[in-house]
């Protein structure tokens, strides 16, 4: 991969043999976007941009009446100086004005990728993996420098971007808005796709055509949210799973975000993504630097499938960190849906005994083990074991489990405080609040003010003591409400609007310290299921509880939608009881297992109460999971049939050498007198021969991809099958 500065043409060219990204310096001052896509040969890249003076578009360069910022495809557009489209940033100078004029100053090309202090990011393990371009722009009147960071990776079809502002002057500057990226496409004939939902219905896929004007998704909930994932994709009209052009953009951030698309009358499409400007501002004192989160920009000429596979590889290898990054995860059992708050040590042991007998490796004690928490009305913040429920403490339970040969995992919800807690009684100002205003409860709890250093330090020490108090090998880090009355007791009035972002910086610091301090603990993040399923959390915790909805049918949509960006390796998926606790549906245990086996398999039910036959089935599926899990968790995903389009869902994973593949097929409701159906596979080596489920018959890869695998005629609802393909010599 290379980054070139073409002096004659005034073009920066980032390329890696597959992808190109080009920026042109116009009039020696302005950064124009020229091209992003497949690497191509170009004799005249600088002639791509065309100029024309348009009515009502300001003339920004008196010497060139054809030039206007309003019609220029820009790299990082300002507010207030002639471009009336969505700005990427807005700064307020000490005199109150919000007009800025940043012009090109210099550039630097460096090997590797600089660290972004205090924020999650994609990383490199050696400097040969990526090159970084830093373009410096300066507004000399304001006395502020702006660095635009672009990294191109050698092995991924991706550019990463972020921005920093430095106050070089002597006055206070207020950042009112600052996105992480902005890019102007030269046309508008696109669809866009994003992931929307709510609690128990996260990341459903929505695809629609672009229209003139602004369309956007965002979160102002203090978390990336169940409602909108910080991701969107732009798709050519013909784009499918396997064909067409797709640009996928995702933000490495877990708090309030905004992603905006604006189509202007000249069919330019502007996309920007970053921290939500709503209720955000940041005072930048002389000498200070503000750094935005990072945005990942993936290009695919192989449809949505190609985009997802690129995201998956990056997330698995250059977002997730720690010892679990490259490891399969233990099969766990969680007691939440089995007992909720009402458990005894005896009951937990019964679940653990049965689980161990079936091959489950880790027991997770969920909510209700601390303070006097018998419901969701108390004790968050009082992280002291309830001896009435656990007479031998966490240590006693952990030793029992270890004696069985199981590991012990623990649920915590550290960011929260219950009004009925010693923590709140002792520190009523430690929660987010605005003096004199209502402290709105949600799930009966308040949010600790992590913008405060003292609160963060207290949490770090409290959790350190807790995690050292027993042999804890897994932590589920929950977060069960969104933020209201976002204000901090310690910040001065002029900095109150920094609270949300400072909260995220505080949270990230806590997570950095704890994950470094406890490298052998597997952390799983959770926010009422998937309310904070984002790249920011994955940088610290290598898996996320996908959804509180464990119904096998609903999960098909949730896991399918989640897989647009996130690999199976980072998704927690549990087999739960029927009737399902969220939707009341009865599905066979086999299908429930088969859905959960498409990610990190876990269980969440009274497993000791299963019938003998059901236990035998679970034991058998667990053994099968061990056979397939490496392919599922580390393989390339191909989505074959979408649950959003009908009764059939199918996806498959193929290992790196194309020697093994696992195909999952599900049919939710049977149809009478159904036609024959052949499932066309993807991603196999056309020339290799494969055996399916150890049957005697052998098929060529191209046969399975072109003609397909014939499926049985199905006469039952909730049918599922997993096919394991292995190369035959």
Catalytic residues, which ones?
Answer: 478, 548
Q: Which of 131, 139, 157, 366 binds ligand DGJ (CB under 6 A)?
A: 366
Q: Which of 257, 336, 400, 533 binds ligand DGJ (CB under 6 A)?
A: 336
**Residue 687 burial (CB < 10 Å; 0-12/13-18/19+)?**
exposed
Q: Which stretch binds ligand DGJ (CB under 6 A): 315-323, 418-426, 515-523, 525-533?
A: 525-533
**Residue 659 burial (CB < 10 Å; 0-12/13-18/19+)?**
middle
- Cβ of residue 443: shortest distance to ligand DGJ, in angstroms? 8
* CA nearest to 724, candidates 646, 642, 641, 665: 665
CB closer to ligand DGJ out of 318 and 481: 481
CB closer to ligand DGJ out of 190 and 408: 408
332 strand-pairing partners: 362, 602
* CA nearest to 366, candidates 400, 396, 336: 336
Site for ligand DGJ in 408-437 (CB under 6 A): 411
Question: If binding means CB under 6 A, how many residues of this protein chain bind ligand DGJ?
Answer: 11
Regarding 545 and contact with ligand DGJ (CB under 6 A), the answer is yes
Q: Which stretch binds ligand DGJ (CB under 6 A): 93-101, 156-164, 396-404, 521-529?
A: 521-529
CB closer to ligand DGJ out of 280 and 336: 336
- Cβ of residue 482: shortest distance to ligand DGJ, in angstroms? 13
291 strand-pairing partners: 164
Quick one: residue 58, left, alpha or beta (phi over 0 = left, psi -120 to 50 = alpha)? beta
Bridge pairing between strands 30-38 and 89-92:
unpaired
Query: Which spans in 405-491 are helix H?
Result: 422-426, 453-468
- 362's tokens: 């880790």
x/- letters, 480..509, toward ligand DGJ (CB under 6 A)? x-----------------------------
- Cβ of residue 337: shortest distance to ligand DGJ, in angstroms? 8
Cα separation, 315 vs 604, in Å, equals 27
Regarding 367 and contact with ligand DGJ (CB under 6 A), the answer is yes
- Cβ of residue 528: shortest distance to ligand DGJ, in angstroms? 5
Helix (H) or strand (E) holding 181: strand 173-185
- Cβ of residue 341: shortest distance to ligand DGJ, in angstroms? 8
- Cβ of residue 418: shortest distance to ligand DGJ, in angstroms? 12
CB closer to ligand DGJ out of 75 and 366: 366
Regarding 655 and contact with ligand DGJ (CB under 6 A), the answer is no
- 412's tokens: 């915590």
* CA nearest to 18, candidates 159, 150, 157: 157
- 34's tokens: 């020229």
* CA nearest to 258, candidates 204, 180, 183: 180
CB closer to ligand DGJ out of 119 and 352: 352
Contact 420/376 with Cβ under 8 angstroms? no
Q: Which stretch binds ligand DGJ (CB under 6 A): 243-251, 276-284, 379-387, 523-531?
A: 523-531
Cα separation, 458 vs 448, in Å, equals 11
CB closer to ligand DGJ out of 31 and 352: 352
- Cβ of residue 529: shortest distance to ligand DGJ, in angstroms? 5
Cα separation, 121 vs 714, in Å, equals 46
- Cβ of residue 549: shortest distance to ligand DGJ, in angstroms? 10
- Cβ of residue 315: shortest distance to ligand DGJ, in angstroms? 21
x/- letters, 218..257, toward ligand DGJ (CB under 6 A)? ----------------------------------------
Cα separation, 300 vs 323, in Å, equals 30
- 383's tokens: 């992280």
- Which residues, at least 6 apart from 658, have a Cβ–Cβ distance to it below 8 Å? 683, 684, 685, 688, 701, 727
Q: Which of 526, 552, 575, 725 binds ligand DGJ (CB under 6 A)?
A: 526
Q: Which of 255, 305, 330, 529 binds ligand DGJ (CB under 6 A)?
A: 529
Contact 134/262 with Cβ under 8 angstroms? no
Regarding 477 and contact with ligand DGJ (CB under 6 A), the answer is no
CB closer to ligand DGJ out of 268 and 480: 480
Regarding 548 and contact with ligand DGJ (CB under 6 A), the answer is yes
CB closer to ligand DGJ out of 91 and 571: 571
- Which residues, at least 6 apart from 521, have a Cβ–Cβ distance to it below 8 Å? 467, 472, 473, 474, 475, 515
CB closer to ligand DGJ out of 367 and 551: 367
Distances (CA, A) of 123 to 165, 262, 505: 21, 31, 18
Bridge pairing between strands 472-477 and 522-525:
parallel
Regarding 30 and contact with ligand DGJ (CB under 6 A), the answer is no
Contact 560/634 with Cβ under 8 angstroms? no
Q: Which of 415, 420, 478, 498 binds ligand DGJ (CB under 6 A)?
A: 478
CB closer to ligand DGJ out of 68 and 480: 480
- Cβ of residue 491: shortest distance to ligand DGJ, in angstroms? 30
* CA nearest to 257, candidates 201, 194, 304: 194
Residue by residue, DSSP assigns 304-353 as HHHHHHHHHHHIIIII--STTTTSPPPPEEE-HHHHTT---HHHHHHHHH
Peptide bond into 579 cis (omega under 30): yes
Position closest to ligand DGJ via CB: 367
- Cβ of residue 365: shortest distance to ligand DGJ, in angstroms? 10
- Cβ of residue 477: shortest distance to ligand DGJ, in angstroms? 10
Q: Which stretch binds ligand DGJ (CB under 6 A): 106-114, 153-161, 240-248, 526-534?
A: 526-534
**Residue 257 burial (CB < 10 Å; 0-12/13-18/19+)?**
buried
How far is the first Cα of the chain from the last one, in angstroms, to the nearest whole number? Answer: 37
- Cβ of residue 679: shortest distance to ligand DGJ, in angstroms? 33
Contact 247/234 with Cβ under 8 angstroms? yes
CB closer to ligand DGJ out of 366 and 420: 366
CB closer to ligand DGJ out of 399 and 606: 606
CB closer to ligand DGJ out of 262 and 478: 478
Instruction: Point out which residues bind ligand DGJ (CB under 6 A).
Output: 336, 366-367, 411, 478, 480, 526, 528-529, 545, 548
């Amino acid at each position: 991969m290379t980054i070139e500065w073409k002096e004659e043409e005034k073009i920066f060219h980032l390329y890696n043999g597959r992808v190109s990204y080009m920026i042109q310096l116009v009039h020696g001052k302005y950064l124009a976007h020229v091209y992003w896509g497949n690497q191509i040969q170009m004799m005249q890249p600088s002639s791509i941009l065309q100029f024309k003076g348009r009515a009502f578009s300001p003339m920004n360069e008196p010497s060139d009446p054809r030039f206007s910022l309003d019609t220029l495809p820009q790299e990082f557009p300002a507010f207030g100086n002639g471009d009336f489209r969505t700005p990427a940033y807005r700064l307020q100078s000490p005199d109150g004005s919000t007009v800025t004029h940043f012009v090109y100053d210099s550039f630097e090309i460096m090997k590797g990728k600089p660290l972004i202090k205090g924020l999650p990011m994609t990383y490199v393990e050696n400097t040969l993996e990526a090159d970084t371009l830093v373009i410096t722009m300066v507004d000399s009147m304001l006395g502020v420098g702006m660095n635009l960071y672009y990294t191109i990776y050698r092995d991924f079809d991706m550019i990463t971007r972020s921005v920093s502002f430095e106050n070089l002057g002597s006055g206070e500057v207020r950042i009112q808005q600052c996105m992480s990226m902005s890019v102007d496409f030269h046309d508008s004939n696109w669809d866009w796709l994003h992931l929307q939902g709510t609690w128990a219905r996260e990341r459903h896929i929505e695809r629609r055509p672009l229209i003139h004007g602004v369309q956007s998704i965002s979160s102002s909930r203090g978390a990336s949210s169940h409602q909108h994932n910080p991701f969107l994709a732009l798709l050519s009209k013909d784009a499918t799973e396997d064909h067409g052009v797709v640009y996928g953009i995702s933000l490495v951030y877990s708090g309030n975000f905004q992603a905006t698309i604006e189509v202007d009358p000249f069919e330019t499409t502007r996309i920007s993504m970053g921290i939500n400007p709503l209720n955000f501002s940041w005072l930048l004192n002389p000498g200070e630097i503000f750094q935005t989160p990072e945005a990942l920009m993936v290009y695919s000429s192989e449809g949505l499938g190609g985009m997802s596979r690129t995201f998956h590889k990056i997330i698995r290898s250059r977002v997730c960190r720690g010892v679990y990054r490259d490891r399969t995860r233990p099969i766990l059992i969680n007691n939440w849906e089995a007992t909720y708050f009402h458990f005894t040590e005896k009951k937990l042991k019964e679940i653990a005994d049965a689980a161990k007998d079936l091959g489950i490796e880790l027991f997770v004690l969920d909510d209700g083990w601390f303070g006097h928490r018998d419901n969701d009305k108390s004790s968050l913040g009082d992280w002291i074991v309830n001896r009435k429920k656990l007479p031998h403490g966490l240590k006693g339970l952990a030793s029992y489990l270890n004696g069985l040969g199981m590991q012990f995992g623990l649920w915590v919800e550290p960011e929260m405080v219950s009004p009925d807690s010693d923590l709140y009684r002792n520190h009523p100002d430690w929660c987010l609040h605005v003096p004199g205003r209502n402290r709105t409860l949600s799930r009966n709890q308040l949010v600790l003010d992590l913008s405060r250093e003292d609160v963060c330090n207290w949490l770090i020490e409290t959790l350190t003591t807790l995690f050292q108090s027993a042999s804890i090998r897994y932590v589920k880090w929950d977060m069960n409400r969104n933020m209201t009355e976002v204000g901090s007791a310690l910040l001065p009035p002029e900095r109150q609007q920094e609270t949300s972002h400072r909260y995220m910086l505080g949270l990230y610091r806590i997570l950095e310290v704890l994950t470094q301090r406890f490298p052998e603990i597997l952390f799983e993040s959770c926010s009422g299921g998937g309310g904070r399923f984002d790249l920011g959390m994955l940088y610290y915790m290598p898996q996320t509880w996908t959804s509180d909805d464990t119904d096998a049918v609903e999960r098909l949509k949730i896991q399918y939608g989640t897989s647009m960006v996130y690999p199976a390796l980072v998704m927690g998926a549990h087999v739960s009881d029927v009737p399902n606790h969220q939707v009341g549906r009865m599905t066979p245990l086999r299908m429930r297992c088969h859905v959960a086996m498409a990610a990190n398999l876990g269980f969440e039910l009274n497993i000791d109460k299963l019938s003998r036959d059901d236990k035998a089935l679970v034991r058998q599926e667990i053994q099968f999971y061990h056979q397939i899990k490496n392919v599922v968790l580390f393989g390339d995903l191909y989505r074959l049939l979408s649950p959003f389009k009908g009764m059939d869902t199918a996806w498959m994973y193929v290992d790196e050498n194309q020697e093994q593949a696992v195909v999952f097929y599900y049919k939710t409701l049977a149809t009478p007198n159904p036609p024959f159906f052949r499932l066309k596979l993807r991603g196999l080596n056309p020339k290799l021969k494969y055996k399916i489920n150890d049957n005697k018959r052998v098929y060529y890869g191209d046969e399975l991809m072109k003609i397909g695998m014939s499926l049985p005629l199905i006469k039952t609802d909730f049918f599922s099958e997993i096919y394991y393909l292995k190369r035959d010599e």
